[in-house]
Amino acid sequence: MQSRCYNWLLAAVCTTWLGCAGGEPEASWAPGTGSPHSAGLTTDGGTVLVTSTSHFHTAGGITEVPNDLSSRNLALLVPNGSTFTQLTGAATDGGWQFTGVPPGLYYLKTGSTYTVTDAREVELDSHDLGRADAVYSPVSTSPVNIHVTNLAPWMPYRRSTEPGSSLQLASGQVNLGAMLFLDEEVPTGQTSLVTSAAEMWNMTGPTPICEAAKGDRLYVNQLSQLDAGTLPDGGALGYSTVVRSVETAPFDYTADGITPLSVTGALQPVPQTPFTLDWRLSEYAAHASEVHPTATPATPDFYVMPSAYGLSHGWVGNVEQVLHLSLPPGTSSDFSRSLSYGTPYPSSWGMVGYAQSSFRVWLDAPDGASYGVLGNLFTQARLEDLVAGPVRPRVSPPRSLTLDGMDASTSREVGSLTPVIAWQAPALGTPSAYRVTVFGPRFSSLVIKGYVYVPGSLTQVRLPPGLLSPGAIHYLRVTAIDAPFLDLSRMGATRHLLPNAHADALSAIFTTP
* pLDDT number for residue 346: 94
In angstroms, the Cα distances linking 333 to 235, 278, 298, 328 are 16, 11, 12, 11
Provide the residue count of the chain: 513
Distance separating alpha carbons of residues 249 and 266, to the nearest angstrom: 12
For 213: left if phi > 0, alpha if psi spans -120 to 50, otherwise beta; the answer is alpha
Distance separating alpha carbons of residues 111 and 116, to the nearest angstrom: 14
DSSP 161: T
Residue at 315: amino acid letter: W
For 216: left if phi > 0, alpha if psi spans -120 to 50, otherwise beta; the answer is beta
| Residue-by-residue DSSP string for 367-386 | TS-EEEEEEEEEEEEEHHHH
Q: Could you tell me the pTM of the whole model?
A: 0.90
What are the backbone angles phi and psi of residue 289, rounded to the nearest 5°? -70, -15
Written as tens digits, the pLDDT of the chain (513 aa) is 333 333 332 332 233 333 333 333 233 333 333 333 333 334 445 999 999 999 999 999 999 999 999 888 899 999 999 999 999 999 998 899 999 999 999 999 999 999 999 999 999 999 999 999 999 999 999 999 999 999 999 999 999 999 999 999 999 999 999 999 999 999 999 999 999 999 999 998 899 999 999 999 999 999 999 999 999 888 999 999 999 999 999 999 999 999 999 999 999 999 999 999 999 999 999 999 999 999 999 999 999 999 999 998 888 887 899 999 999 999 999 999 999 999 999 999 999 999 999 999 999 999 999 999 999 999 999 999 999 999 999 999 999 999 999 999 999 999 999 999 999 999 999 999 999 999 999 988 999 999 999 999 999 999 999 999 999 999 999 999 999 999 999 998 899 899 999 999 999 999 999
The answer to whether residues 144 and 198 touch, using CB atoms and an 8 Å cutoff, is: yes
DSSP 471: T
The answer to whether residues 345 and 464 touch, using CB atoms and an 8 Å cutoff, is: no
Residue at 223: amino acid letter: L
In angstroms, the Cα distances linking 512 to 159, 228, 396, 397 are 41, 49, 29, 25
Peptide bond preceding 499: is omega within 30 degrees of 0, i.e. cis?
Answer: yes
How many other CB atoms are there within 10 angstroms of residue 444's CB atom? Answer: 10
Q: Which residues contact 388 (CB under 8 A, 6 or more apart)?
A: none
Distance separating alpha carbons of residues 371 and 294, to the nearest angstrom: 13
* pLDDT number for residue 7: 32
